Amino acid sequence: MRSFGSIDLLSFTTAFQYTVLLVIMALALGAPLALGFATMRISRFLPVRLLAAIVLQIMQGIPLLALLMFVYFGLPVFLGIRMPPLMAVVIAYTIYTAVFLGEIWRGGIEAIKRTQWEAGASLGISKLQQFRHVIAPQAFRIALPASVGFLVQLIKGTSLAAIVGFIELTRAGQLSAAATLQPLLVYSIIAAIYFAICFPLTLLSRKLEVRLHGSR
Amino acid sequence: MALVEIKGLRKSFKDLEVLKGVSLTVEKGDIVALIGRSGSGKSTLLRCINGLEETQGGTIEVGERQISAKMAGLREYRQRVGIVFQQFNLFPHMNVEKNVTLAPVLTGKVSKAEARKLAEECLAKVGMLEKINAWPEQLSGGQQQRVAIARCLAMAPELMLFDEVTSALDPELVGEVLKVMEDMARQGMTMVLVTHEMSFARNVASKVVFMHQGKIWEEGTPEAVFGDPQTPELRAFISSTHH
Ligand SMILES: Nc1ncnc2c1ncn2[C@@H]1O[C@H](COP(=O)(O)OP(=O)(O)O)[C@@H](O)[C@H]1O
Ligand SMILES: [Mg+2]
């Protein structure tokens, strides 16, 4: 046993960077997929819509932790390859982001009246241009508060990656608590770090929400 | 050759037949006023002309070209036909200038550099030049509707469709929009408009078309339609609009 000291703080700092990395990668890879998933959900083609609906139902029905374990422990069995933890967690969080952020964006897109699409169409601009210039900017504004709310969920959710041995903030806390036998102190610090990031975001989300509903 | 030639047009929504064989000719420079009770199929007819609805029978020809909601080249066609809706449908996240120039820029009609000038020209035509930097929500209904008309004019259409464009307006704002439409008529624009403004139909239209139960019940010059209605349905309709 050793006492809690700068070495622990240093390891938290490093681990925190991995938490941030994980969040950024999940967003960078998941957001484009989320856009794709949102458009699948509102597709004119029934099979596409159906497929997206099934994926959504499955994802809504399983906990994030189970998804994580499935990707890390399950997939290798059936693909015959072992995955490094980083890859497994990035895949899992990307899927998570694609589906749940996608669902938020679908809500934003569907909140825009059909007449806005029609106004664009009747001016002779393409479907893609209607989406890009007319629908998306309005939908984005509507979906922004919920998207920031999702970001908070994602940040907190990355703590589950500890289970597959990925050393992010929570896992670093576990290791430090075990080494110093000071769980109260350690987990208080860990909690404070999460809180310091998530609380301002939560406030921001709420503020955006008020602005959205206050002005219309 | 007529600009618009519609023959035996049929349109249903599921089991409900809304247009039951409509035939209509619009010559270049015509101002055609569609009148009739709510639900008689006037909006649907305009939407079909714009290719917004799939049809179940008959033909629409505009400029000797067959029109349908699924045709190739629908986009290019719509660039030549403007439609103005009852609810304006301006883009709320763009200022007036952007509303007017979005489509001309995206379709390559004007460059970004020329766009401002185009917006100024079109807004001047509807008396909205001083609001070029305003946002839709800052405008009255009448002003929004005039911007919506300018937005269509920016595409230099050869045919304009108007669907009850003054019905959502406070009575004191109706005149300013009708005046813009009258100016356009005087300058030779071909227009098909659905309206409840009978005095406008009487004074500006070159042809008045009375629709009833998905059919063209009666049509003719304003003098004939209002002065000498042939059917009891039209007579009843005209007397119902007298207040
Ligand atoms: N998208 C739609 N789906 C189903 N029914 C519709 C739709 N649009 C219009 N209708 C019906 O078609 C009929 C004619 O409507 P419309 O063309 O709007 O008449 P008008 O403009 O003369 O009032 C009405 O009975 C209306 O309820
Ligand atoms: Mg109507």
Contact A123 B78 (CB under 8 A): yes
Mutate to test the pocket of ligand 1, among B12, B14, B16 (most ligand atoms within 8 A of CB): B16
pLDDT of A94: 97
- B54 shares its domain with B66: yes
- B112 shares its domain with B69: no
- pLDDT (tens digit, 9 = 90+) per residue, A54-63? 999 999 999 9
CA distance B171 to A44: 40
Measured from CB, residues less than 6 Å from any atom of ligand 1 are B 13, 16, 18, 36, 38-44
pLDDT of A215: 54
As given in the structure block, the two tokens for residue B193 are 């408009």
State in Å: Cα B226 to ligand 2 middle.
21
- B168 shares its domain with B72: yes
Which residue minimizes the CA distance to atom 3 of ligand 1?
B13
- Domain finish residue from B157, B190, B208: B157
Which residue minimizes the CA distance to atom 2 of ligand 1?
B13
- Domain finish residue from B157, B181, B215: B157
Which residue minimizes the CA distance to atom 5 of ligand 1?
B13
Cα angle: A61, vertex A65, A71; to 5 degrees: 95
β-pair partners for B209: B34, B219
Q: Is residue B85 part of a domain?
A: no
- B150 shares its domain with B181: no
ipTM > 0.90? yes
Counting one residue from chain A and one from chain B, the pairs whose CB atoms sit within 8 A come to 52
What is the arithmetic mean of pLDDT over B145-167? 96
Residue range(s) defining the domain that contains residue B35: 4-80+158-241
Ligand 1 atom closest to residue B14's alpha carbon, by position in its atom list: 4
Q: Is residue B99 part of a domain?
A: yes
- B205 shares its domain with B218: yes
Q: Is the CB of residue A17 less than 8 Å away from at least one CB of chain B? A: no
With 0-12 / 13-18 / 19 or more C-beta atoms within 10 angstroms meaning exposed / middle / buried, residue B102 is buried
Q: Is residue B216 part of a domain?
A: yes
The domain that holds B184 is classified in CATH as 3.40.50.300
Q: Is residue B86 part of a domain?
A: no
What is the arithmetic mean of pLDDT over A82-104? 94
pLDDT of A214: 66
- Domain finish residue from B107, B126, B157: B157
Mutate to test the pocket of ligand 1, among B9, B11, B13 (most ligand atoms within 8 A of CB): B13
Supply the mean pLDDT for chain B.
94
The answer, yes or no, to whether residue B50 has pLDDT greater than 60, is yes
- Decide if B217 contacts B234 (C-beta within 8 A): yes
Q: How many domains does chain B have?
A: 2
Give all domains of chain A, ordered by start, each with its CATH number: 6-214 (1.10.3720.10)
- B71 shares its domain with B17: yes
Classified as helix, coil or strand, B114 is: helix
Q: Give the mutation candidate from A117, A122, A127, A212 for the B interface (greatest B CB count, under 10 A).
A: A122
Which residue minimizes the CA distance to atom 25 of ligand 1?
B39
- B119 shares its domain with B166: no
- B236 shares its domain with B163: yes
- B121 shares its domain with B212: no
The answer, yes or no, to whether residue A70 has pLDDT greater than 50, is yes
- B129 shares its domain with B162: no
Residues of B in contact with A142 (CB under 8 A): none
Give the ranges where chain B is alpha helix by DSSP (H). 42-49, 74-79, 96-106, 112-125, 141-153, 171-186, 198-204, 222-227, 232-240
Cα angle: A118, vertex A134, A154; to 5 degrees: 125
- B40 shares its domain with B61: yes
- Decide if A27 contacts A104 (C-beta within 8 A): no
**Residues above pLDDT 70, as percent of chain B:** 100
State in Å: Cα B163 to ligand 2 middle.
7
Sheet with B16-26: strands ordered across? B16-26, B4-13, B57-62, B65-66
Contact A118 B89 (CB under 8 A): yes
Nearest to A115 among B75, B82, B87 (CB): B87
State in Å: Cα B136 to ligand 2 middle.
23
- B24 shares its domain with B75: yes
State in Å: Cα B125 to ligand 2 middle.
26
**Residues above pLDDT 70, as percent of chain A:** 99
State in Å: Cα B18 to ligand 1 middle.
7
The answer, yes or no, to whether residue A213 has pLDDT greater than 80, is no
Contact B52 A121 (CB under 8 A): yes
